[in-house]
Amino acid sequence: MSLIDQITLYKNRMRGEIAHLPAPSDQKRSLFLWPEFRLDRPLHWHVGDFQNYAREGFEINALIYSCIMYKVRAQQSAPLRAYKGDYEHPDRLPESHSLAKLVSRPNPHQSWSEFQGQNTVYLNIRGDVFIYLERPKRGGLPEAMYSLRPDRVFIIPQRKERALLGYLYVREGETPSQGTPIMPQDMIHIKLPNPLDPMEGMGYGLSPLAPLAYSADADNNATKFLREFFYNGALFTGLLKFDTALDDAEVQRIKTRWKEQYGGFENWSDVGVLDSGGSYERMSMTFQEMGFGTLDERNESRILGPLGVPAILINTRYGLARSTYANYEQAKEQFWEDTFLPEMSLYETDYRYYLQGEHGEFVGFDYSKIAVLQESKNEKVTAWASLVDHGIPKALAAEIMGLAMPDLPDGDVVYMPFNMVAMGQAGEGARPSSEVGAAEAEEQAEEASKRVILGRPFVAKVGMLNRNRLGGNW
């Protein structure tokens, strides 16, 4: 049966089933009602094993650790700041402000870099970040923020549609019945998308280590094999053959003697000697025959992909073989624009929602110290200058390029090179220079000089227009 026939059969079957459905009632029904077995109790179903991911991934696998720690170090260059005003033109609050103090020292035990670094590790291992807000009063600005281990936090849905009853935090050594309940307004839950979330986006996130788990296991096993190969003197699988029959005791003696004499990397250069009638035959492939380098590169690419860190940034064999240090800055810019800025925006959106001052104060990440992002702004300024050079008003050009500029007195003034002449003046109405009187020529020269002087502060500050195009050395 062709694909078209299958689709036609499916449509006809659906028409028959729809025809037997009861008529819709006028009463409105909610699309989101949790089943009874999920209501008013902690959801113990988690995506992946956090402890296993932490041990087998973050602690053991050098690639995973390097990727996550690269993000941890990168976020230290963009601290969270407290501002007033509006998002487009923020003014930084003084360090004495309560909101500024909170983001500088989220709790007595951690600085901001330590706190946010812990969140970055949790998000990239588990796909969830749970931040408890300790408030002095209900709805007030938190006094402290604590990042909780995600495998100890459980979501509790409630009977009210599309809502959560809260969260349950179970400390080490406690049972769920002994856990600490936390209200939804006192918990920031940041998560990565999970397409199989039974809570329709209100449940747990999906760990980025989940899709790379098989590749990470293969990489760990290859590392273990190399360790055993060198540490214990493992040999490629082989077979000792003898022409005579051997009993079990004799077989064990030969195996022990072979390991003692030729096992270990210290004895690899020794010459093997077998008794009369004996021979050795290798049965397994060598590293070259297995294509070990290709397999290693395959694992690297499949591990680095879900984490979004270019290989050259963590100096892997795969990255260095396919890139040069000339591409390093491009890789950093790609990392920030494609991976880390979107990841940081997950935090910034929730931080702005939960950490609001009484007079509209807000928080935001400060990216001014990140060089690769500033370079992109310089490119915008260059494009803006090109627009101004071609006659676009400065304020309009800034709006086109998305640049925030202060209100300038000459923001709507159009700057044009003096060698550009209107088409009408280049025709029959234009007079030859010989017909222009001395007094009129002097008047035109004076007017041109005024235009140069008026344009001079703008030209000197921005450095956009070519001096030669202004008609002389000024």
CB-neighbour burial class of residue 432 (10 A; exposed 0-12, middle 13-18, buried 19+): exposed
Within 10 angstroms of residue 229's Cβ, the number of other Cβ atoms is 14
pLDDT digits (tens, 9 = 90+) for 82-138: 999 988 889 999 999 999 999 999 999 999 999 999 999 999 999 999 999 999 888
Strands (DSSP E) found in 30-111: 80-85, 90-92
pLDDT digits (tens, 9 = 90+) for 13-57: 555 555 555 555 555 555 555 555 566 566 665 656 899 999 999
pLDDT of residue 199: 81
pLDDT digits (tens, 9 = 90+) for 448-463: 555 444 444 444 334 4
Residue 4 has pLDDT above 60, yes or no: yes
State both tokens at 315.
């100096």
Residue 467 has pLDDT above 50, yes or no: no
Strands (DSSP E) found in 18-163: 80-85, 90-92, 128-134, 144-148, 153-157
pLDDT of residue 427: 47
pLDDT digits (tens, 9 = 90+) for 324-366: 666 888 888 899 999 999 999 999 999 999 999 888 899 999 9
Q: How far is CA 375 from CA 128, 134, 269, 329, 367, in A?
A: 32, 39, 56, 10, 12
State both tokens at 106.
């989220």
Read off the pLDDT of each residue in 294-321 and give the average, rounded to a whole number. 79
User: Smallest Cα–Cα separation from 268: which of 222, 230, 225?
Assistant: 230
Prediction pTM value: 0.68
Percentage of the chain beyond pLDDT 70 is 61
pLDDT of residue 373: 82
Are 172 and 149 within 8 A, CB to CB?
Answer: no
Give the contacts of 466 (CB within 8 A, at least 6 positions apart): 417
